[in-house]
Chains A and B, each alone.
Chain A
């Protein structure tokens, strides 16, 4: 039972355009969501997060939107840069789970020149 789903395995975007990565979840207990970025042969690195009490969080070129009623979140990258090419993982957790994260399967973003 995949509680966090990233239905697009890959995405290709031109440099300077917007990248939109999507994530859906099924567990209504999740109340905190994170995005991680992973380069080949490296560990995932934290990118941005959002609590369920908000519907938007912004950090520079990265914005995460949360739609609780649809159990959907998205990561927007504007403008996209070649260095953003990586695999992006969505993760979710809820209070009282010892910070255990449930990860999606990842979306590989390629930013082309």
Chain B
């Protein structure tokens, strides 16, 4: 039982390049989330998927797109990377039926855009 896994762990991009961050969970959770963490800013929600087939914007969606490929997988795409997207990205999942609101996080992807 791996929980939430993210790939890659580290990535360096040049401005304008594109990439996809992958996330998978094996807990059969309905909801999945993408956050970014920046120094002094806490975790900010980029996009979320309340259930398979649905996605919605969070607090900071500009410059990103997401795909809920199936119940297990939720990917985050940067179409044209910018230095402002240098951050640590966390994927999370939760079981919304239990009403405990607890989210389980992956280990993160550290992205640097030069």
Residue numbers in B under 8 Å from A41 (CB-CB): 107-108
Contact assessment for A99 and B43 in the assembled complex, using a CB-CB cutoff below 8 Å:
no
Number of CB contacts from chain A to chain B under 8 A: 61
Closest-CB distance, B43 to chain A (whole angstroms): 4
- Cα–Cα, bound, A91→B36 (Å): 15
What's the tally of chain A residues with a CB closer than 8 Å to chain B? Answer: 25
If A41-B108, A43-B105, A99-B101 touch, whether A106 touches B4 (CB-CB below 8 Å) is: no
B43 touches A103 (CB 8 A): yes
Of the residues A43, A49, A103, contact of B100 by C-beta under 8 Å: A49
Are A101 and B103 closer than 8 Å at their CB atoms?
yes
Proximity string of chain A (1-45) to chain B, C-beta cutoff 8 Å, 1 when within and 0 when not = 000101001000000000000000000000010101000011111
Interface residues in chain A, defined as those with a beta carbon under 8 Å from any beta carbon in chain B:
4, 6, 9, 32, 34, 36, 41-46, 49, 89, 93, 95, 98-106
